[in-house]
Every structure is written in structure tokens, then in C-alpha cells.
Chain A
Amino acid sequence: MNTASFDPVILTLVTFLPLAGGLLLMLMPRRDRDIRIFALVVSLATFFVSLHLPVHFHRGTTGFQFDVNKQWIASPNIHYHMGIDGISMWLVLLTTFLTPLCVLISWHSVHDKVKEFFVLLLILETALIGVFTSLDLFLFYFFWEATLIPMALLIGVFGHERKVYASVKFFMYTMIASIFMLVAILWLYAHTGSFDFETIRDLIAQGRVAGFQTAAQWLFLGFFIAFAVKVPLFPFHTWLPDAHVEAPTAGSVLLAGVLLKMGTYGMLRFNLGLFPAQSRSNANWIIVLALIGIIYGALVAMVQPNMKKLIAYSSVSHLGFVVLGIFSFTQAGLNGAMFVMLAHGVSTGALFMLAGILHERRHTYEISEFGGLAAPMPVYSATYLVIVLASVGLPLMNGFIGEFLVLSGAFQARPIYGILAATGVIWSAAYLLWMFQRVFYGKVTHNVNNTLADLQGTEKLAVWPCAVAALVMGVAPLLWLNAIDPAVSVSLKPFLELASRVVGR
């Protein structure tokens, strides 16, 4: 059978398969074991179906592929328009890759309200994939907001002590920020008559949108603030540590692995795509914020006594790299930003899983409660080391490729950016390795820790794929980059034109 015949429906299938599974799951009787297996089957099926995308993706070509475009509502002119390019494809893959691992890592750790948990997880997966596949601004906003509810419930119902506070804070922060994006979307619709990303982009590029010049800066900021809170860019990051510390492990994995990337993806797609001139003129202060984020995030991570908070702040630092890469407007910087997004998804996802495994055994994230774990838990600590090295950016691991590309892009843009950002790499080595040393090396400081069980069945299945992926991405980055690169150059085209126009003058 020719699998290419799936092309027109594949995105719909990938997006809504988890939702369909979630709805079926709702109807299932409350036998926890069956529910877990079913959720795993659905998420694995989604992953395998989503593999169709890279297999049949035409590398080296620009533009959106696998697209479907059907009218949803006649007036306002809303279309069910989906399509992916090299940027969004990998983010979809990242989502479908991490979700089955989330199911596995929650296998034993969730024992209360199991059904609700997995239903929410699957609904969240659909919303996340939808964000990356939508090419209609309305549809995008629809999925964007739809991610909020399952995530807030995952934190608020299944989280730790201060879960309600964290959940409401997460919800309100991102909700208020996205309101500004909605205003911008509505403005664009009012003045172009379309929600279609490509249509609006072309109209703006041709200068055919009335009143655009006066509104452009506000529109840019409207989108940017929604994305900046999601990333989170300093100083909008304060919701993140709370949300991470209180969230259940699977929630943290998807939060760090995918949800944060919604922000950087949005910047790349919408800020750069729709408002190239404004992106250019705003780039300086954004880069400054990104640099502050890189350094500040790293320094705060260094002094955290709480392992999960440390990883959360390391996300602030890593995502700073992504924003820096995006707003450097260089081929290397954008490729690097994309690669850091994927690498961070895999390695930080794994770090959260590992922290969760420890929490399950000791019910604490305090670093001081541990020490010398390498002896009782050898497999666990070896796996941890691999992931930490990947996250630190050891050559031949995935973190290295992305950070290297971002740094070289930043250097091209302005050397001082590269120099400052490079210190972030050093900081990240410092806080992660120092944490690793305190937790794993030396003598066992607390007697309880002697009896801790090593990595077990489903935990291995959950973490090891991440370790393998981190290694493969580091060794063969071209597998990813040859799809990313053409898409990135499309995003960069208006900037090169802008630059040549400036030179021409």
C-alpha cells in the first residue's frame, strides 16, 4: 500500500488521534491497568503515525507540506488550515515522542484518578500538536488556549503541596498574555479579512494592509508578549519555577519539553514571519532580555537547593539561547535555535523524569537530602550522567550542536552577544555538574538512601529513549537540520531583503 496517499489527512490524523483516544478512555471502566495500557497504545500509535511526516517530507523544498485547507466557519472567514514545514514538523515529532514516555513515567507514580490523568494527558497532546500544525491564526489561537486547561488541571489536581497556587498562577499569567495576541489577531483580521497565515504574511509584505504602519509596533508587541510569557523570557518567567515544582512529573516533562517551545515557535513563525521590519527594530532589547535570561537563569539555578527548581531555572537559561538565536537573524542562529528547542525538549524532559523518579522514592526534591547515590543506584546515576552531559552541551551530544550554532550566529550578529552568551554555557556546566556531584558522588550521607531501588522497568523504557535520542541528535544532526534549514531560510528571506535595502541606500 502506498503510504503517501495519507498525505492529505495525515496532519488531521496525528492531531486528533490522541483526542479520540482520550474520549474513548473516558468511557472505559476504571481498571487502572487497562487504562494505562490503552493510553500507552494510543500515544505510541500517534508516534508511529507521526513518523509518516519525516519519512515523506520533501527535504530541501520550502513552503508548507501535507497541508489541508477547508472552510470551517464562513463568516468570520475561518479555515481549518493545517500544514507543516521543517520547523513545525520536528516540534510535532517532539510532542509525539515525549507523550508515550510521559505515559510510561506516570505508570506507577499516578495511582489516584488514573483515568482523569491520562485523559488530560491525551487531550493536552492534541492541543500541543494543533498549535504546531495550524496555519490559520484563529485555529492557532484556538489550540493555544486549549493547551491551558489540561495543563492547569494536571498541575492543580495531580501536583504537590502548593499545586493550586501554581496552577492558578500558570493559568492567569498565560491567559492574560494571550489576550494581547488575540487583540492583534483580531486587528489583522479586521484589516485583511483573513486569518490565513500565508495570506496575511503576503499582504503585509506587499504593503497592502491599510493602517499597518501605525499599528505594526503594537501588533508585534501583542504577539510577542504572549510568546514571551510562554517561553518564558526574563522578566516574565516567575510562573515557571512554581509550575514546575508543583507539577507531576509528566506535566513537567510536557511543560518544559513542549509547552515552552510554543512560545519560541510562535516568535519564529509569527513575529518573524509577519513583522520582519518590527522584529529587526526590536531585536536589540529582546536580545538583551534573552542574555539576561541566559545568565540570570543560570546563576539562580546554581543556588537552588531544590533539584526540580534548578532544572526549571536551567530552562529559563536554555530558552534564552533560543530567543537569542532567533533574533540574531542569521542562518546559523535560527538553525541553532530550532536545534536547541529540540535538544532541550529531549534532555530537560529526561531530567524532569529522573528528578521525578527520585521524588517517588524519597518524596523530596531537596539536593541536600541526597548524596552518594551512585553506589545504591548505579544504572540510574549513569543514565543521569548521560543526560546531564547532553544538557551541558558536551560535543557529540545534542546540546552542543544547538548551542554552538546559536553562539556562532550571535557572534555574526554582534560579537558581544556571542561572548556574553558563551558564559551561559560555562554556567550551565557549573550548576548541572555541581548538582550531579552533590547528589551522586561521595559517601551516602543519609542512611535511607542506601535502600533506594535502582531504575526499574517502565522507568528505563521512559528515560532511555531520551538518552538515545540525545546521542543520535548529537552524532547525526544533519538528519534534523536538512529539514530545518530550508524552512529557516524562508523565514530569513525578508531580513536579507531588508538588509540589502539598507545597504542599497
Chain B
Amino acid sequence: MSHFIATIVQTIPQISDYVRILPEIVLAVFGMAVMLLDPLVDDEHSRRTLGVLALAGTICGLIATWYMAQSPGLAFSGMVRADSFSVFFHALVIAISGVVVLMSFEYTTVQKMRGGEYYGLILFSAVGMGLMSSAVELVLIFIALEISSISSYILAGMRRHEASSGESALKYFLLGSFATAFFLYGIALLFGATGSTNIEFIAQELQNSGSITLVYVAAALIFVGLGFKVAAAPFHIWTPDVYEGAPAPVVGFMSTAPKAAAFAVLLRIVFQLNAPRHFWIIWVAAVFSMTLGNLGALVQNNIKRLLAYSSIAHAGYVLVAFAAAPDLGPSAVIFYTAAYAAMNVGAFAIVSHLGSVDEKFVSLQDYEGLGQSSPVMAASLTIFLLSLIGIPMTGGFFGKFYVFSAALKSNLTWLTVIGLINSAVGAYYYLRVIVAMYMRQPQKQTPVAPVPFGVGLATALCLVATLYLGLLPGQVLERARLASGAVTAPSGVPAASSADLGPSAPSQ
């Protein structure tokens, strides 16, 4: 009896348990507050008021992440882990959400959207993504994945009077459900193989029993599910259509934040489970994603489709790091997701602003002559595109640099060469946008509205982040390395020595 009571007492959540999910609690509370306030304020004021509230929510979420970082450890009977890894991704995802909220201030007004659902869903989606990065229990990861996915399905369909937006949401929903089913099936097989859904327990079990075919199948299924979320080839078919139809700020959001969270889950599964590291499908998926993404982007005329294909290619670059050794790959992945978030959200901030009412102006022809009509926007977009190409001085360069140096150190020479050739090919289509903006005479006049405060601030933040990561990447890289230590150390013990991208050979 006393034993039973002791068990009960153990499972009662402590204060520290709540602190370890504080960001989720804060975001959920703000999300609900936004939803509840929506009917109370009239239409004109709703967007601005609710937007500010949502922004406050993300700022409070960042503060809550800081609190969470102060008390690392397991929570809720070992379902959630607060460590440097989850803290990094919480900060990243919530920061992305904040910037997206900021650039949506004007967008929702221009497109005449209701603010309540929009901002609420962004916050809820952030809740799911935060939880994805801190959950160490497969069923909880699944629930978190669903929270974030379902929110983004709805967000994709927010341009209600546009058929393409409905198409986008429906496609995303159908294929997404299909993919999560794979994910769930993988979890079931892992449970069958080891008798647990706890990642740390499974990792121990696998170390004792060695790898079994069942585990490989399970890992493959899980990879299919997550491969869909990160838009890796051959699970990428949905991406261009969905990105084209969905509202531009939402695309900026869902091409970065859910991807970062899905990569976080993939890192936990691939590296913490430690089993299927030499997984050839990662190699193949990386090559396919880079190649198909870049080739597809070459012929696009719609900038949203172009960036959709580019996001497939970038998922491929990240997968290259997954194929690398465990002491090198994860920190490169983590850094890349951060750098990609900064440049891609920034690019979409500008795309969403220039799109104007009903997103009429999204083709390359509409960008002609932008260098004169809106020099600041054009220069900012140029910097984001140069970063996507991977030109020095930008975050994108160091992202690629870390990824490929990790791959090269793991003796993946061919993968590195294929990746780098791909990034050179990729330069062409980003250049087309720059060429259109600066070197072509406009055939028709695209009206350019003055830059509103929200978009301006969002762009500036992304710009600062992109250049900061490009000139002084040391700080963030250090965090990424600490974070990667948390997932690669055996059975969750924080790493004693941090993994290093640095020297391995002769001492000097």
C-alpha cells in the first residue's frame, strides 16, 4: 500500500515539471486569450489588438524559455526533457513565430482576414513545435506533431476566398495525414520491438539487444513521416502547390518553424536512438532533395513556388549533415535551421509585403525594376537571396560551411561534392530574382506601398540575424554545439566534452 502511495506521489507533477513546459503554457494561454477576445473587439480593431497580444505572447514565451533553461531536467514522468537542445529550438521556434506575427500586422489588414483564428493558430502551432523539441516520448512527440500540423493545415487555407488557398490546405491536410500515419506506424513497430515508447529507454534496449530488422523498418517509417514535414524528396510533391496557395507570411512560418521542429525530432530519433545512423535512405534523400529542389526551382516564375523548391533543396542540405558523424552532424543541422529561418522568413516578409491585395504580384515580372522603385526592400531581399545562395558574410554561408565540412570530415566526399555543385546550380535561380530587380526594365508598373512598421521591423530583425550569423557565428554555433551534445550523449547524460567541428588531426 505504501509502495502504491509512493508511486502516486512520484507521479504528481511538481512545480519544476511545470517550469519545464512553461513556454508551452504561456503560448497556449495567450493563444486562448486571443481566441476569446476575438468576438469582443470589433472587426476594425481586432487585427491590430490581437496581433499585439500575440506578439506579447511570443515575447513572454521567450522569457518563459529563459526560465525553462534555468531548470534543466526531466518532467512529467520522463516524458519531457528540458535541456540545451530543447531550449535552443524553443527559442528558435518562438522567435520565428514572433517575427511572423509582426509581419502579419499589415498582411491581415490588406487581405481582410480575421485576426483571431490566425494569430491563435500561430501560437498553438508554436506550442506543438516547442513540445516536439522537448518531448522524449514517442506518443507525446506524435501529439505535439499533430498540434503543430493541424494548426498549419488551417493556416494554409486562411485566404478563404481564394480557391488556390483551399486547394493548398486540402492537399497539405490529406498528404500530411497520410505521412503522420506512417510516423505512427513507425512508433508502433518500435514499441513492438522494445516494449516502450520512451526514447531513452528504447536507446538502452537497443544497445543491449543490438539492431533488429524491425527497428530499421520502424526508423524508415518514422523517416517517411518526418521527411514529409521537412519537405525532403521524394516526399516533397506537395510543397510547391501548398506554398503557392497559402498566405505568404504563413509560408514563411511553415517553411521554417515546423521544419526546425521536425528536424529536432529527427535528430533525437536518428542520433539518440543511435541505431540507424548509417541509414542509406538519408544519403539518398539528401541527394534527391538537393537535386530535385534546385532543378525544379530553375524554371519557376512564381516567386512563392521558386522559394518552395528552394526550401526542398535546403532540406536536402540539412540532410547531408544527418549523414555525417554524430559528433559533427547535429550541431551543423541546428545551426543551419537557425540560419535558414533568418533568411527565409526575411524573404517571405518582403514577398508578402510586395504581394499586395490578394497576393497579385508574385511573379518574377512583378519584381522587375524593384531596385529603383523600392531600393531598401530590393536590397534586403538581395541580401536574403545571397544568403540562400551561400555567399560569404551571410548566415547561409556558414550554414552550408558547417554542413559540408561536417560531411567532409565524415568522409562523405561524394555527398559533399554533389551538395556543393547543387548549391552552385541553385545560385542561378536566386540570381534570376536579383537580375529582375536590378537589371531589367519593368514592363508594367507594380504599385509599391510604403513599407509598414510591422513588415519593416520583421525584415530588419531577419536582416540583423542573417548578417550576425554570417559575420559572428561563434556564439550561436557554441549554443548549437551544446544542444547537439544533449542528443548525442549516450542515454541522455549531458555530454562531458562538447562535440567539435574543429581539428581532429595533428596537434600543433
Q: Which residues of A contact B (CB under 8 A)?
A: 73-77, 141-143, 145-146, 148-149, 153, 156-157, 163-164, 167-168, 171-172, 175-176, 179-180, 182-183, 186-187, 189-194, 199, 203, 208-210
Contact = CB atoms under 8 A, between A and B. Distances in A.
Contacts of B402: 76
Interface stretch (B67-75, B90-98, B221-229, B433-441): B433-441
Contacts of B2: none
Contacts of B472: 73
Contact of B506 (A77, A175, A183, A203): A203
B408 A142 contact: no
B500 interface: yes
B208 interface: no
19 contacts: A73-B472, A75-B501, A76-B501, A77-B503, A145-B392, A148-B391, A164-B435, A164-B439, A176-B424, A179-B424, A182-B404, A183-B408, A186-B416, A187-B413, A190-B408, A190-B409, A191-B504, A203-B506, A209-B506
Point out which of B440, B473, B508 has the most chain A C-beta atoms below 10 A from its C-beta: B508
A189 B439 contact: no
Contacts of A73: 472-474, 477
Contacts of B423: 179
Contact of B508 (A163, A175, A193): A193
Nearest to B428: A172
A189 B435 CA distance: 35
A193 B416 contact: no
A141 B405 contact: no
- Looking at chain A's contact residues, is the secondary structure mostly helix, strand, loop, or mixed? helix
A75 B502 contact: yes
A176 B413 CA distance: 17
B431 A171 contact: yes
A141 B386 CA distance: 16
B421 A156 contact: no
Q: Please tell me the size bucket of the interface on B.
A: 35 or more
A192 B416 contact: no
Contacts of B478: 74-75
Given A145-B391, A190-B409, 4 more contacts: A163-B439, A175-B427, A186-B401, A192-B506
Contacts of A192: 503, 505-506
A183 B392 contact: no
B477 A183 contact: no
Contacts of B473: 73
B393 interface: yes
Given A183-B416, A190-B409, A172 B427 contact: yes
A249 B393 CA distance: 28
Contacts of A167: 435, 439
B392 A146 contact: yes
A210 B505 CA distance: 7
Given A76-B501, A142-B392, A176-B421, A186 B404 contact: yes
A193 B393 contact: no
A75 B391 CA distance: 19
Contacts of A183: 404, 408, 416-417, 420
A194 B504 CA distance: 10
A75 B508 contact: no
A179 B422 CA distance: 10
A-B residue pairs, 4 tightest by C-beta: A193-B503, A142-B392, A176-B424, A190-B409
Contacts of B427: 171-172, 175
Nearest to A192: B505
A442 B224 CA distance: 78
B435 A75 contact: no
Contacts of B421: 176, 179
A271 to B, nearest CB: 20
A267 to B, nearest CB: 21
Contacts of B503: 77, 192-194
A212 B368 CA distance: 49
Contacts of A74: 474, 478
